[in-house]
Amino acid sequence: MSMLIEVWGDYACFSRPEMKTERVSYDIMTPSAARGLVEAIYWHPGMKYHIDRIYLLKPVQFASIRRNEVKATLLSSAVLSAAKGGEVPMLCTAENIQQRAALVLQDVHYVIECHFTMTEKAAPGDNPGKFQDILRRRLAKGQCYHQPCFGCREFPANFREWHGRAEDIPALPLTQDLGFMLYDLDYSDPENIRSQFFRAKLENGVLDCRDVEVFT
């Protein structure tokens, strides 16, 4: 069942994977980021979201900022050892902070058009109407599992259901070739998680993510 979700915020960063140290955002929200945002509002193992279109409602604006980031991480093996009674791993934030530049999006506003399908993990009492009603109630009340964000946790996203037809969404009249964009991650082989890309193009302010040719 198709849903229209309006999202907006002050900043966003949909990091391009080819940039190594410094973060550089894509020009628009990626399909995987849109799916993650919707899943933050409502997720259930019996359903799977599919992003159909992303509508651009405000001009693309970039801003250069500097952010403090922690350059070290804790090993999962050390955490597992601590859970079994071993030594508790420590990470001194003051010694591991470094400043990095980031080219982020500013004053973003989109409408996400998506639908979901049922999975084999759905319970006998689950059905599409039930899931759609739950999602709509959460959108109306501003409820979520965790705060939806635009790429980074420090860039929170506001959200609500878009009441109206997709044809009436006031997308910007902008057509632009966006090059190769991250589509999603392929988890079919947990030992070899692969990035999936597609050739993205903005047509009259709409990024169409349906039936795209995916490259791995």
CATH of the domain at 180: 3.30.70.2660
Residue 90 lies in a domain: no
pLDDT at 83: 81
pLDDT of 159-205, one tens digit each?
A: 999 999 999 999 999 999 999 999 988 888 888 888 899 999 999 99
**CA 162/CA 7 separation, integer angstroms:** 9
Task: Grade residue 210 by pLDDT with cuts at 50, 70 and 90.
Answer: very high
Structural domain contains residue 188: yes
The CA–CA distances, whole Å, from 44 to 118, 136, 141, 163 equal 10, 14, 18, 24
Contact yes or no for 112/4 (Cβ under 8 A): yes
**Rounded CA separation 117/52 (Å):** 13
Residue 121 lies in a domain: yes
Provide the residue range defining the domain that includes 180. Answer: 2-67+103-208
* Structural domain count of the chain: 1
Residue 97, in any domain of the structure: no
Is 93 within the bounds of a domain?
no
183-193 pLDDT per residue, tens = 988 888 888 88
Residue 47 lies in a domain: yes
pLDDT tens column, 47-100: 999 999 999 999 999 999 987 777 777 677 777 877 887 777 776 666 777 788
Q: Which of 74, 83, 67 is nearest to 24 (CA)?
A: 67
* Six token digits for residue 101: 């530049």
pLDDT tens digit sequence for 101-134 = 889 999 999 999 999 999 999 999 999 999 999 9
Task: Report the Cα 145 to chain-centroid distance in Å.
Answer: 14
Residue 75 lies in a domain: no
Tell me whether residue 89 is in a domain.
no
